[in-house]
Chains A and B, each alone.
Chain A
Amino acid sequence: MEDSRRRFLKIAGIAALGMGTAPVIDAVAASGGHGAAPHMRKGDDALTAKQWGLVIDTTKLDHEKVEHIIEACHSTHNVPNISAAKVGQKVATRHEIKWIWETHYHNAFTDLRPQYLSEDVEERPFLVLCNHCEEPPCVQACPTQATFKRPDGIVLMDFHRCIGCRFCMAACPYGSRSFNLRDPRPFIEKTNLAFPTRTKGVVEKCNFCAERLAVGQPPACVEASEGAMVFGDLEDPHSEIREVLREHYTIRRKVSLGTGPAVYYII
């Protein structure tokens, strides 16, 4: 009696388990190898590379052109303009968001420190932005892989995964990253609906216009630079950018740190 009840329970248990798992097995069997899972495909016009890079010919730039370039980038990417006029100088400096901006030679190349710099270079505007490093310290630092390096070399951010710990900002030796210390949306003059706005509490930076490359367009800054900036595949010896690099002497920012910046400057 005791024995047969135990056997009944055992059989019933196994049967229940079998009925329970059957649909799971079916589901796994159906999805395996038939390509039913969603699949991301690059667009037909997408521009591709092994390591995107940028050359900035500083001899061709002046303040006016530089401003135009910055405006092109920031309006494309909904970068807020948290200006002194709206929040006061102190707060504006603290809360500022910038993807590409103008600085001096001394600030861009802090490790070079020439004592006597040519007057021309002294006054020349220098554009600085994310260097999309070969060995990005920010990617290494990120605890959630919200910052990652794509196979085409672009260091990209997932604004929805970022927890706002700002480890990447400490890790970046170029000061290329900004943090949304407040809601940026009220400071966007005209929202570009083709690109997401950000929320408070996440980090952001230049994305080498990954969204434009995907549809076959060059980065907004390059387009606005009217030939002063050349964008292309650094690993393709036949690319235009490599041609430019063969013809000109160029320097990069803080190469001694071993990060391998992909932005080159013609001085």
Chain B
Amino acid sequence: MDAHASVGHAELEIPYNVHPRPDTGVYNAKLGIWLFLASEVMLFGALFSSLILLRTGAETWPRGYEMLNVPLATFNTFILIVSSVTVVMAWSQLRLGNLKKGRIYISATILCALIFLVNKAFEYGHEFREHNFPKTNNFFAIYFTLTGLHGLHIIGGVIVFLYFLGPGAKMWARDPERYTNRIEVVGLYWHFVDLVWIFLFPVLYLM
């Protein structure tokens, strides 16, 4: 009772920041990222719906494989899938308590993302040289909008990974479990970004 009678202005820690709440089975950030991804599904869902509506309403619509570089995009798809694997490896290494290997896998993920972006830049440059701009027609309009927005998501992911590789890794010494959780959360985001590409690739390049 004595502890309760003390009337400090104690700032209480936010509960379930690191450990899962028993009845929901998740920690706060994990639920947060799933909700965020739900909103991302709605964002890209709206854009994909727009693509469907525009394409079904159009008199003619170019074939993606005639306009775009399919081999390069296939390679990019492969690269992103690899990066999804490396991010899981990073998390599992951290779970095993191995920061060094975890960091190597995070670096590998960043490398994959950068390769993807460089390839994308080549693709964009090629389209611009061919005088294909967003205003050329609705196919290129939606192509540049969707891949551009996806590219921004990749860049965002790279920034977060760089943070966790550099200054953010200090947390490991203090609270390794929380650091591992953060990699898990950003990993979930990363899988989603990959998944968007898995949809973008056939819809834009192959159909």
Partners in one complex: no
